[in-house]
Amino acid sequence: MRSTYSVLVENNPGVLARVAGLFSRRGYNIDSLSVSRTDDPGISRMTIVVEGEKAVLEQVTKQLRKLVDVIRVHDITDEPHVDRELVLIKVNADSGTRGDIMQIVEIFRGRIVDVGEYTSIVEVTGDEGKINAIENALKPFGIMELVRTGKVAMQRGIRTVLVED
Amino acid sequence: MLTGGQILVECLKNEGVEVIFGYPGGAVLPIYDALYDSDLLHVLTRHEQAAAHAADGYARATGRPGVCLATSGPGATNLVTGIATAAMDSVPMVAITGQVPTTMIGKDAFQEADITGITLPITKHNYLVRDVNDLPRIVKEAFYIATTGRPGPVLIDIPRDVSAGKTEYRDPGPIGLRGYMPRLAGEPAKIAAAAKLIAQAKRPVIYAGGGVINSGASEYLKKLAETIMAPVAVTLMGIGCLPGDHPLFLGMLGMHGARYTNYAVNECDLLLAIGVRFDDRVTGKVESFASHAKVIHIDIDPAEFGKNVPVDISIAGDVRTVLVDLIKNLTCNPDPAWQEKIARWKKEYPLDHSREGLRPQAVIRELSDMLQGRRYRVTTEVGQNQMWAAQHFCITRPRSFISSGGLGTMGYGFPAAIGVQVACPDELVFDIAGDGSIQMNIQELTTAVNYRLPVNVAILNNSYLGMVRQWQELFYNRRYSQTELVNPDFVKVAEAFGAEGIRVEKIAEVRPALEQAIASSRPVFLDFIVEREENVMPIVPPGEAISRMLG
């Protein structure tokens, strides 16, 4: 099973180490973890994707809640939510292939954000499936470098993961 | 204007701290300078590890947080074993360490160690103080976190420029930790469901642990047990939560539990687990543990539910609060056949209590008998001595059996006994030790002598690392690799430190020697030369079901 957690934490020094350390100490498998501060500078939000058995996932929630700097933990896997990742892909591109690459990027509603003599950097935002698909589509041209942000997620509608909920 | 060190002292006094166990060094000099003028008692140990264990022993004996203090770098890392010990056994502790000045942090300065990083997995929370103005808030939060919910150690790392920096002392006001709100009361619906399950049970067993002692719930545990006529098996941490001479007391369960205790757990139809965490030394093979029983689990820490063993009803809350509510809801029909069966097992499979020869079990039984009716506390080291003490000592009060359970820290018992003796100056304090374990912090005899702490150490001396040797005998074909010890003369060691030493080689000498130790106003090493290859029995082989014991 794979779960997505939206976690609010105090924006204190070392909070990421506390959360990451918890995962490594307990042997939980982090699929992706993204973190940055929210509109409240005192609070950061983490989106954590974890792979594991049901019992492990239950423990993840409970152990996270034990951390003093963790304000809220919410498993949004089964709730309607949007999730996005951003990827930058540096791909081999010369005058012969650039047109094909641009077409693919267009289909995925991505953007070419840098063009060099032999390379292009492609930026794409989307869910995991879309990111995987464009990665596969660009592979034949030769991917030189790739960086993904990891998933960020938010519930749809009026539901929120806020401090006072 | 006060220095950070002076502010720290003020904060400690506000928290009701009366004693600190510590060891000075360069990075904590501003704090030690402030202590010089304070009326806090500082106990100077000979090793920082011992300071942490002494603070831990003080905390376990009193229920109040123990405080230890060390300098940066090696001073701080020497606390680590003591902090980890406290963390594993849920002991309230505040560890204060010095750090290099903030401007030097990260530069591998002399005696710099990232102690907040090092202690992340072994503290309930920790702090690096970056601004002297934050000190009152941090100290207040640290004590609150250490002592509330599931107790545990909190570390405060104070850079030297912070402890030397000056500012006005301001009360930090109320604590505002939005991510930390321990739940005290159990959910009424779950309590009602538990009461219903209890009413249906024919063969109930209570499995009680350190959480009962931590929450001060012993009286309610007794009431619960007597109401539903359930025998009470205890964990190592739970020893003392029900008097050892109570008819429903079953003693310790698990790897070194008595046969009757493990059989009772194996055959019960309801296991009422209270303030426990289903440690692997208790459960043995998890799939076979109490496999005929419905399980109710009551604990302050919801993360313990389902961590090791699936449970039918889990009630999160302070054990005492939950038990008060549960007892109000109880109706039950105790089945006399269950009591009779347990009584039969007790008769059929008693723990070995022969007093022939100078056997360690006999020494402990003599000591236990002699101390009944007196005010006493027992600490233990780790290994065979610890398990014999757990099996054979009749402990009648909570907080009077003090032992390193979760981490199994050799060298714990003696410094812990020093902390206990500081906390309880009018009580007799005995550390039950092995010859291996006592040598791990033997230097603390100086501390005991210096502070006139008449701690008694009963060394069960078999010239082996006994428990490891026992495992080698049983599971490694008697290949005694590195477990035979060549020891110093413990009597002469004691005398060299200014303490008293007594050697005992015959069973008839045990009682007079103990009487001499009890009467002495000095620390005493009792060197019991016990039979060398005595084993702790019964034993559940690792990975086996607890009903499948050897011995």
Q: At B492, phi and psi to the nearest 5? A: -70, -35
Return all residues near B205 (Cβ < 8 A) that are at least 6 apart.
Answer: B230, B231, B232, B233, B250, B264, B265, B268, B270, B271, B272, B290, B293
Give the chain B residue whose CA is nearest to the CA of A164.
B178
- Render pLDDT for B377-408 as a digit per residue (tens, 0 to 9): 999 999 999 999 999 999 999 999 999 999 99
Q: What is the pLDDT of residue B205?
A: 98
Average pLDDT, chain A: 94
- DSSP three-state, residue A51: strand
B305–A66 CB contact, under 8 Å: no
Please report residues of B whose CB lies closer than 8 A to that of A13.
Answer: 128
- Please say whether the beta carbons of B455 and B444 come within 8 A: no
Q: Tokens standing for B299?
A: 């604990």
Q: Is the pLDDT confidence value at B495 over 80?
A: yes
For the segment A110-142, what is each residue's pLDDT rounded down to a tens digit?
A: 999 999 999 999 999 999 999 999 999 999 999
Asked if A13 reaches chain B (Cβ–Cβ under 8 Å), the answer is yes
How large is the average pLDDT for residues B477-489? Answer: 98
Query: Is B177 an interface residue toward A (CB < 8 Å)?
Result: yes
Residue with tokens 């720290």: B8
User: Is the pLDDT assigned to residue A165 strictly greater than 60?
Assistant: no
> Do the chains contact at A14 and B305, CB–CB below 8 Å?
no
Contact between B307 and A67 using a beta-carbon 8 Å cutoff: no
* A65–B303 CB contact, under 8 Å: yes
- Cβ of B128 within 8 Å of Cβ of A13? The answer is yes
Nearest CA in chain B to A14: B117
**To probe the interface with B, which of A28, A68, A69, A163 has the most B CB atoms within 10 Å?**
A68
Q: What are B394-448's pLDDT values in tens digits?
A: 999 999 999 999 999 999 999 999 999 999 999 999 999 999 999 999 999 999 9
pLDDT given at position B313: 98
Q: Is B243 exposed, middle or buried (0-12, 13-18, 19+ CB in 10 A)?
A: middle
pLDDT digits (tens, 9 = 90+) for A67-102: 999 999 999 999 999 999 999 999 999 999 999 999
Coil, strand, or helix at residue B482?
coil
CA-nearest residue to B183 within chain A is: A66
What are the tokens at B446? 């100086």
Least confident of A11-25, B322-336, B459-473, B509-523: B322-336
A68 vs B: CB within 8 A: yes
What does chain B come to in residues? Answer: 551
Comparing A91-105, A150-164, B209-223, B488-502, the range with the smallest average pLDDT is A150-164
Mean pLDDT of B13-24: 98
CA distances from A60 to A55, B68, B144 (A): 9, 32, 25
Chain B environment of A163 (Cβ under 8 Å): 178
- Bridge-based pairing of strands A70-75 and A119-126 is unpaired
With an 8 Å Cβ cutoff, are A65 and B120 in contact? Answer: no
Q: Do B179 and A70 touch (CB under 8 A)?
A: yes
List all residues of chain B from 111 to 150 with a beta carbon under 8 Å from chain A: 116-117, 120-121, 124-125, 128, 145
What is the CA B442 to chain-centroid distance, rounded?
19
pLDDT in tens, B171-226: 999 999 999 999 899 999 999 999 999 999 999 999 999 999 999 999 999 999 99
Q: Which residues in chain A have their CB less than 8 angstroms from residue B180's CB? A: 68
- Chain A residues in contact with B121 by the CB 8 A cut-off are 21, 25
Residue A154: exposure state from Cβ atoms within 10 A (0-12, 13-18, ≥19)? middle
Query: Do B494 and B501 touch, CB atoms closer than 8 A?
Result: yes
- Distance from C-alpha of B436 to C-alpha of B439, rounded to nearest angstrom: 6
Give the whole-number percent of chain B exceeding pLDDT 90. 97
For chains A and B, count residue pairs whose Cβ atoms are closer than 8 Å: 42
Q: Is A63 on the interface with B (CB under 8 A)?
A: yes
**CA dist list (Å): A4 to A21, A94, A126, B174, B448:** 18, 40, 16, 35, 55
Instruction: Give the model confidence (pLDDT) of B97-145 as tens digits.
Output: 999 999 999 999 999 999 999 999 999 999 999 999 999 999 999 999 9
For B324, list phi and psi in degrees, rounded to 5: -55, -45
Are A14 and B128 an interchain contact pair (Cβ–Cβ within 8 Å)? yes
Record: contact A59-B180, CB cut-off 8 A: no
